[in-house]
Chains A and B, each alone.
Chain A
């Protein structure tokens, strides 16, 4: 139970455990899942195709990736999310900075953001359709209002966490408001903002995709619900796999940007 007293461990043994067992365990887990899956698929225990064979899924995956129409839909969704992030992110940032910078404003309005934040935004979709039509507009709106809240709340919190002395330095050099924002506030709070953007991307993705499943004739969400409606399960699994890979990749990319930044600083 007592420590062994080692101060630093060699890189081949992080946490004192050799690297190879971790990789082995991972491979074992993946293998077990795949084998179990195939067994379930072949057994016919569940309703046909609820668990399709791995081969069918892989075939659907390849077919989808080869299909030019898929990229059209992918592009549509990406475009919608991109614009949504721009609108929601920038307005969230602006509101967050305003609220974080003023105790008065924060006390007046931040509670609304705080309690509206956890509300499921998809319920606003009928309103969005009415205001922006059944095309990409309503999907972008869904993504934008989803992503607004985490960005705004994180920005407000980030503003308050800025070391007060940095603000005094800026004021002592008589920086204009815009200079304060761009040269002091934003750099000082880049970590909370990056986290907010990460969260915002996550919820914007959800908002936009769900809107596409509900009422659309384009986009990945539409493809998923289409596959469901014709009970093409391998296709649905393939689409979900692609979707998850992309979203996890995007999320870790943003995370890496955040971490790279702190490494550069140290």
Chain B
């Protein structure tokens, strides 16, 4: 059954985390796919850990297996080697403590904003007035109060992603998993939504894992950034982002920010150009083969 949703937690900002170990632990994950061209290794012995309340960014070139990682951790893919543990428990399928926010447009077009956000609570069997009250809280949290009765078709892309976010947050997952949630939005909307995410994360002390290909976004939002190689995806480097918190989008203009971006870009560029070369030679081989 779906996530157990308890009473709305009052988060104590100064409270020490109860568990000392990582709340999400990926250990030696290997995921392979069978294709007509042979076996493809998307993720090759990747290990990482996310501490409670931490914001971990995962960045890599296209084709580095980040989406595979997202789907495996989210429980939508199996048939892998290695383990994924949530709060010490080994995972089998979608875990109720993990909330997923997808890259594509994922609001339910036939429900209004409030009903969309109340969806996980409805599934958990919560009573109508209670779940609407709770949903309203999260609608407000993402800054969409006043829009409860509107339908997704009436909202902009950025607003719809906020609805998806509110819906996932309403289930109060221990770990928030995001796969390039702002990919379809323009740069300015991204920065502002990034602000929103920061604000929410700081308020809820939400453990978050963000998959992205956007360096600015990764540095702006994360405590640490994992840089992945082109496939087979491995962890190339983990960068500690020691920028002060609380942060806002103004930080993108600071010097320290620029240095982090440059550092990550140096790593990424290597991988991205390697990836581009490999893709080009694949296309050439394919064309010759015909």
Direct touch of chains A and B (CB < 8 A): yes
Of the listed stretches B73-81, B103-111, B151-159, B184-192, name the one at the interface; the rest are far from the partner chain.
B73-81
- Shortest Cβ distance from residue A16 to the other chain B in the assembled complex, whole angstroms: 12
Interface string of A1-25 (1 = CB under 8 A from B): 1111111100000000000000000
Docked Cα-Cα span, A1 to B77, in Å, equals 9
Q: How far is the CB of B208 from chain A (nearest CB, A)?
A: 23
Contact A4–B40 (Cβ < 8 Å)? no
| Cβ contact within 8 Å between B79 and A4 | yes
Task: From A2, A4, A6, A7, give the contact of B93 (CB < 8 A).
Answer: A2
Task: Quote the shortest CB–CB distance from A8 to chain B (angstroms).
Answer: 5
In contact, A1 and B34 (Cβ under 8 angstroms): no
A5 near B40 (CB under 8 angstroms)? no
> A6 touches which one: B33, B75, B80, B94 (CB < 8 A)?
B33
**In chain B between 58 and 99, which residues have their CB closer than 8 angstroms to a CB of chain A?**
71, 75-80, 93-94
Q: Which of B35, B71, B94 contacts A7 (CB 8 A)?
A: B35
Please tell me if the beta carbons of A5 and B78 are within 8 angstroms of each other in the complex: yes
Chain B residues in 8 Å Cβ range of A4: 78-79
- Is there contact, CB below 8 Å, between A2 and B78? yes
Measured between beta carbons, the chain A residues less than 8 angstroms from B40 are: 7
Measured between beta carbons, the chain B residues less than 8 angstroms from A7 are 33-35, 40
Q: Which residues of A contact B71 (CB under 8 A)?
A: 3
The residue from B31, B34, B36, B77 contacting A2, defined by CB atoms under 8 A apart: B77
* A1 and B79 alpha carbons, distance in the complex (Å): 12
Tell me the minimal C-beta distance from B168 to chain A in angstroms.
Answer: 19
Contacts between chains A and B (CB distance < 8 A), count: 28
CA distance A4 to B78 in the complex (A): 6
Cα distance A8–B78 when bound, in Å?
Answer: 16
Check if A3 sits within 8 Å of B34, measured CB to CB. no
Cβ of B36: which chain A residues have Cβ within 8 Å of it?
8
A231 to B262 CA separation, bound complex (whole angstroms): 89
Contact in complex: B93, A1 (CB < 8 Å): yes
Name the CB-closest residue of B to A3. Answer: B77
> Smallest CB–CB gap between A250 and chain B, Å?
35
Whether A8 contacts B35 in the complex (CB less than 8 A), given A1-B93, A2-B93, comes out as: yes
The residues of B that contact A3 with a CB separation of less than 8 Å are 71, 76-78
- Cα distance, A7 to B71, chains bound together (Å): 14
Q: How far is the CA of A1 from the CA of B75 in the complex (A)?
A: 10
Against A, the Cβ 8 Å flags (1 = close, 0 = not) of B252-264 are 0000000000000
> Roughly how many angstroms separate A82 CA and B36 CA in the complex, as a whole number?
47
Query: Bound complex: CA of A5 vs CA of B39, how far in Å?
Result: 12
Min distance, Cβ B106 to any Cβ of chain A, angstroms: 17
Complex: A5 Cα to B40 Cα, angstroms: 11
Nearest CB of A to B166, in Å: 26
Closest to B34 in A: A6
Question: Which residues from A are CB-within-8-Å of B79?
Answer: 4-5
In this complex, what residue of A is CB-closest to B71? A3
Residues of B within 8 A of A6 (CB): 33-34
User: How many whole Å from A9's CB to the nearest CB in chain B?
Assistant: 9
The CA of A246 and the CA of B166, in the complex, are separated in Å by: 56
The listed residue (B31, B75, B93) touching A5 by CB distance below 8 A is B31
A1 surroundings in chain B (CB, below 8 A): 93
B14 CB to nearest A CB, Å: 39
Which residue among A3, A4, A5, A7 has the maximum number of chain B CB atoms within 10 Å of its CB? A5
26 A-B residue pairs with CB within 8 Å: A1-B93, A2-B75, A2-B76, A2-B77, A2-B78, A2-B93, A2-B94, A3-B71, A3-B76, A3-B78, A4-B78, A4-B79, A5-B31, A5-B33, A5-B77, A5-B78, A5-B79, A5-B80, A6-B33, A6-B34, A7-B33, A7-B34, A7-B35, A7-B40, A8-B35, A8-B36
Given contacts A4-B78, A5-B78, A8-B36, 15 further A-B contacts (CB under 8 A): A2-B76, A2-B77, A2-B93, A3-B71, A3-B78, A5-B31, A5-B77, A5-B79, A5-B80, A6-B33, A6-B34, A7-B33, A7-B34, A7-B35, A8-B34
Nearest 6 CB-CB pairings of A with B: A2-B78, A7-B33, A5-B79, A7-B35, A8-B36, A5-B77
